[in-house]
Every structure is written in C-alpha cells, then in structure tokens.
C-alpha cells in the first residue's frame, strides 16, 4: 500500500472487507453524525442529556431497529447495523446507547417475543422515532444475576398486576413504553408497559459522571394493572431477556471501535501539532510508541467486530463469541482513550476535546450489558465445558 493512500484510523484497510452496502451506510451515518450530532454533543454532555427530539431524525435515516425486517424497519445486515453503531459511538456512547436500547432491546424484544398485535402497534412508530422504548431487566440488587429479580407480576382475573422496580434504565425518562421482565408463577415473563399506565413512574438518575448524554432512570411499578394482552405470549424464563442482551452486546462491540477510533485520531492530530522542546510531540520516540500501540489495538478491535458481523450475518455467531467481542473491544477502547488523554495532557480533561468524555463513558460501557467478569466466565465455560458462575 502506498504511503499516500494509508488511512491512519484504518491502518489495515479493514473496511475493504465490508460490502459496498455496509460502507455506504457507514458513510451516510458518519456524515449525519459529523454534521448534526458532533457539534452539539459537548453541550448535551455538559447539560446531562440528549434531547428526545433527535429520535425522529434517527428514524428518518433508518437507524432505529435497522437490522429488523418489516414493520417500517430497514432490514439491513447485522454488519451494516454494527457499522452504524460504530459511527454513532465515534461521537458519543450515549448516542449509540439510545439506538441500541431502542432497536436491540425494546424493539428486538417485541419483534422476537411479542404478539403480532404488539408488532403492528409498536414497531412502526418506534422505527420512525415517534415512540421511544426502554428495557427493564436490571434491578438494584439483580445486575449480573437477573434471575434474582424481585419485580413480580400476579394474575387478577384476566389482568396482570405488576410491582417492583428496575434500575439503570437507559431511555427510561423519555420512553413511551417499557419492556419489563418480571417474576410470575409461570417463571420470568415479559410485559409491554405504556408509560402512561397508572402506577408506573420513571425517576431520573442524576449526578452521573459517565454517560451524561443519556437518559438513565429508575422505573417503579406500584400495582400497575395490565391487560392480558400486555404479556409476551410464549417466552418464559431468562432466554427472552438474554437473547435481547446478546443483540445489544453485538452493537456495543462495534460501538467501542468508534470510540477508540475517535480517541486515536484526536491524539494523532494533537501530537502532530503540539510543540514541546522545539519539535512536535509526534517526533518523540515515546509518543510514536504510544501511537503505534493504539493503532494496533484499534485494528485488532476492527477485525474482531468485522469477523463477528460476518458470522452474525451467516447466522453462525454464538453468545460466547459476542462476549469475546464485547470484552475485548471495550477493554481496547478504554485503554486507547486513557493513552490518548495522556498524550493531550491537561487539554485532555476538558470538553474542548473528546478523549476524556469517551474515557468516562467507557467506564459505564465496560459494566453494562455484562461486566468483564461475566463475559470472561462465559468464554471460560465455552472453553472448558464447566460453568463457574456459581
């Protein structure tokens, strides 16, 4: 490859492995994100939230539930969806979280496990960004162990009555509906809960130091009465919510590549323009070593995401392989962000630059949708055949 043709942020030309459609979608999302989102993200992060009004914008370009087919969804490949997540998280993890929760959690749950009535009623407005969804699984005492949830639903005649609470729920305060998982006499079941149902409330979690450009809430259910039609008809147990989490984790492993790419690009540019001791930082051996290590890590993350995208499109990817991608790529991204922050020095701690915002966000990304420990144990079980979760 000629030096003039080399792209520093894609050193191994990994994007050449993508289909023309995936590359075109990536460019469309990148152009939109750079023009409409990047100029405003520092303000949103500083303020502590993303305006819900951007959801229809995301719907217009087909980003909400884009990997689902029918019901107003774009029906793209899994790889194309991953590329879109990469371009959104290159701006901010909160943007990708909004799209992930909408499409891979709330919409996917309805698409995969809901009734046809649920799909017809909710998926078209959610794809258009006219309705926002959230996903209620995690509780304050049931994070990595969702089977220990205390939220419960009991039958009263033909109705269900829901009680309990959910914690750390993205989109919770702006959602029109919540997909809620609860204990019942028949095992764990999923319910669609419209936000205007009496007894339902969402409370903003404030004073966050990470994912500030994202709505995070506690959901509370106080004798929330739901009709029989609100329950997902067939799925029981943790298979339902875990299948949704696997979809979201897939988007995360792509998004982490975007965050790492942005941090690397900013560090490279800064090192080439910041002068110390009469020469740019990029002329120092120690800085070049840091940049080389960051480039290698970024390439490895991109290759991992692309391979998993191709496996997912071939219907061959396993949850353990997705765990590999989520653990490896988020770990890479946070190390790249920390190294980039160091290259920028004191300038790196301000919102004039993106690296510490990304670094802070990734502290949440490394935890949600499965901690490093849970993904390591998932991989370990696949390797040894022995479960070490308990």
Active site residues: 369
Whole-angstrom Cα distance, residue 183 to residue 148? 9
Whole-angstrom Cα distance, residue 309 to residue 370? 19
- Residue 165 φ/ψ, nearest 5 degrees: -155, 160
List the one residue out of 386, 256, 381 whose CA is nearest residue 326. 256
């Amino acid at each position: 490859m000629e030096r003039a043709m080399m792209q520093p942020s894609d050193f191994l030309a990994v994007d050449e492995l993508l289909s023309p459609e995936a590359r075109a979608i990536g460019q469309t999302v990148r152009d939109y994100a750079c023009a409409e989102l990047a100029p405003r993200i520092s303000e949103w992060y500083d303020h502590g939230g993303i305006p819900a009004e951007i959801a229809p914008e995301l719907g217009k370009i087909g980003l909400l539930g884009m990997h689902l087919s029918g019901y107003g969804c774009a029906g793209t490949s899994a790889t194309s969806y991953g590329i879109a997540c990469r371009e959104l998280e290159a701006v901010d993890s909160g943007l990708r979280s909004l799209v992930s929760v909408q499409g891979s959690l709330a919409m996917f749950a309805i698409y995969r496990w809901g009734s046809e009535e649920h799909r017809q009623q909710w998926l078209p407005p959610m794809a258009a960004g006219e309705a926002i969804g959230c996903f209620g699984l995690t509780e304050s005492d049931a994070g990595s162990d969702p089977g220990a949830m205390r939220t419960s639903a009991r039958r009263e005649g033909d109705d269900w009555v829901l009680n309990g609470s959910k914690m750390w729920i993205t989109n919770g305060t702006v959602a029109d509906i919540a997909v809620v998982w609860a204990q019942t006499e028949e095992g764990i079941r999923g319910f669609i809960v419209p936000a205007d149902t009496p007894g339902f409330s969402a409370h903003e979690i404030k004073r966050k130091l990470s994912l500030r450009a994202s709505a995070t809430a506690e959901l509370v259910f106080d004798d929330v009465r739901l009709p029989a039609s609100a329950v997902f008809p067939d799925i029981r147990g943790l298979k339902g919510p875990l299948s949704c989490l696997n979809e979201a984790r897939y988007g995360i492993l792509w998004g982490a590549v975007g965050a790492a790419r942005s941090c690397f690009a900013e560090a490279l540019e800064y090192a080439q323009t910041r002068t110390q001791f009469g020469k740019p930082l990029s002329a120092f051996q120690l800085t070049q070593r840091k940049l080389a290590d960051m480039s290698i890590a970024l390439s490895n993350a991109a290759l991992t995401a692309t391979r998993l995208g191709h496996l997912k499109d071939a219907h061959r990817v396993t949850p353990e392989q997705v765990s590999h991608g989520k653990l490896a790529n988020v770990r890479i991204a946070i190390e790249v962000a920390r190294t980039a922050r160091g290259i920028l020095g004191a300038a790196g701690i301000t919102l004039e630059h993106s690296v510490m915002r990304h670094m802070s966000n990734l502290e949440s990304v490394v935890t949600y949708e499965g901690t490093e420990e849970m993904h390591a144990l998932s991989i370990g079980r696949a390797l040894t055949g022995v479960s070490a979760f308990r």
